Structure 1
Amino acid sequence: MYDDEMRATARAAMAGGESLNAISKRLGISRATLRDWRDREGSRPFPSDCPRCTNRQPPTSSYAHLLGLYLGDGCLSKHRKDVYALRIACDDAYPRLIDEAEAAIVAVHPSRPVHRVQAVGHTSVVSYWKHWPCLFPQHGPGPKHQRRIELAVWQRQIVAQHPGLFLRGLFNSDGCRVANWTVRTVGGVRKRYDYPRYMFSNESADIMALCQWALDLLKIRWRMPRRNALSVARREAVTTLDEFIGPKS
């Protein structure tokens, strides 16, 4: 994989009349690759082109979903030659969520394969690309809850367009839909009352604030039973959230 600077250097040399053989020897790029770059000039973007580096938007709906997954159970790790691995950890109890994570990654970066790496109790959905940090500028050393997590302006714009899909990623990572119950006295008789609610837990106050913001965009009422847990329990709020998330199984 060659970076944009190397491509630009090769293209400039070809435009200046330098032979493919000379460019190949000087830059260490095969003549077949050079011919491909030359012949495809002005046609569709190269598979490894980064939307952020080429002033394009990633597919907004899939990216909103993937951003939620990344902030919940995702990470980036650097490998050789400045290639990064995006890993989304998915509980093996919910195979549908593994499929959804893979589909979101493929939609955002369709030109490279996505791998499933089995671990104890979970599957990591993995994709390798030099430009993942461009799409996730929140990447940095240490756990997310120990550093500042802020969305770039372009990321906030995408979430504002698709808050439900962003919440789907967050809740499918660090949330759940559970059945709760309470006891009420009606007409002097104590009765059990069952109701569903959504819970979202995260140690990062910044990520929690992003979840709250997305819920506010959808006018979904929430409360904080404790500092690292958010609850959505009102009937109309749960009904609205069901349109975007629903049970994991």
Structure 2
Amino acid sequence: MNVHGTKVRHEALTLLRVGAKNADVARMLNVPLGTIGYWKHVDRAKRGECPGKHDPKCPRCDGRELDEPAYSYLLGLYLGDGHISHYSEHRVANLMITCTESWPGLMDDCEQAMRAVFPDNAVCRVRRTGCSNVKVYSKHLHCLFPQHGPGKKHERSITLEPWQQEIVDAHPWDFIRGLIHSDGCRITNWTTRLVGGERKRYEYPRYFFTNVSDDIRQLYTDTLDKLGIAWTQCTRNGNPYNISVARKASVALMDEHVGPKH
């Protein structure tokens, strides 16, 4: 990943201030178009040229109202396929959720949740090969996602703060839905049975949640327990690997509140 220095940034701003188009500056300096747009926005904000609010409020720091169902869903997405990046001192931190292109509905739901949780912040999609990164920029990401830290999630402790647990307890299905939409799936399993002396194929739906973090799987199963969902743990090479929900009544509840990705 390229990190562009102060000299390049100043050169870009000089061109932008005299009216150069973002795309032209991006090509000229070999800088991503999104980065040029961000630099221009920050520069205009510092000079008071941007309309509206320049310092979005934070539910944790300023007491702004938080859309709790949307946050519970976004928290599940973050624990599965999300991470927070802060590339340099010039960039505001961004929360990025990676969504495969085959599930456009998931990208829509993710973007909607980000806009609900961060109503005054920039949300965008960055298309990659076979997927899109749905991103939101905010100075207060670490306030709302204190699980962020160096290294991979499964290599460090992941626990919810008391205020986060209260939100998950109040909106458990949103949390489960976020986890399934990030690291889970609904599939159709099959087996065979003897019926009247004849072996017949039998199909049944099943939910899987796969995550190598013991802590994140525990958050998932603890929430399933509170919802009365029966589950079993599967292993790979003797190690805990995923959580299965296969009993008919439990699958019916999951279908009602979660459903397959789309």
Q: TM (normalized to structure 1)?
A: 0.80
Unaligned runs of 5+ in 2: 1-45
Shift of 1:82: 6.6
Q: Does 1:171 align with 2:184?
A: no
Counterpart residue number, 1:156? 165
Residues 208-227 of structure 1: per-residue CA shift (max 9 Å, x gap): 00010111111000001211
Shift of 1:187: 3.4
Number of residue pairs matched by the alignment: 212
Find 2:85's aligned residue among 77, 85, 107.
Answer: 77
Counterpart residue number, 1:180? 189
Counterpart residue number, 1:54? 62
Identity of aligned residues (%): 48
Aligned Cα root-mean-square deviation (Å): 2.1
Give the secondary structure class of the aligned counterpart of 2:160. coil
The letter of the residue matching 1:99 is D
Q: Does 1:231 align with 2:244?
A: yes
Shift of 1:32: 8.9
Unaligned runs of 5+ in 1: 1-28, 38-44
Find 1:127's aligned residue among 111, 136, 139.
Answer: 136
Shift of 1:31: 8.2
Instruction: Answer yes or no: is the 8 Å Cα contact 1:82–1:130 preserved in 2.
Output: no
Hey, what's the Cα distance between the residues in 1 that align with 2:56 and 2:219? 30
Hey, what's the Cα distance between the residues in 1 that align with 2:186 and 2:49? 53
Instruction: Answer yes or no: is the 8 Å Cα contact 2:125–2:134 preserved in 1.
Output: yes
Shift of 1:228: 1.4
Q: TM (normalized to structure 2)?
A: 0.76
Hey, what's the Cα distance between the residues in 2 that align with 1:229 and 1:190? 30
The letter of the residue matching 1:73 is D
Shift of 1:186: 2.8
Counterpart residue number, 1:9? none
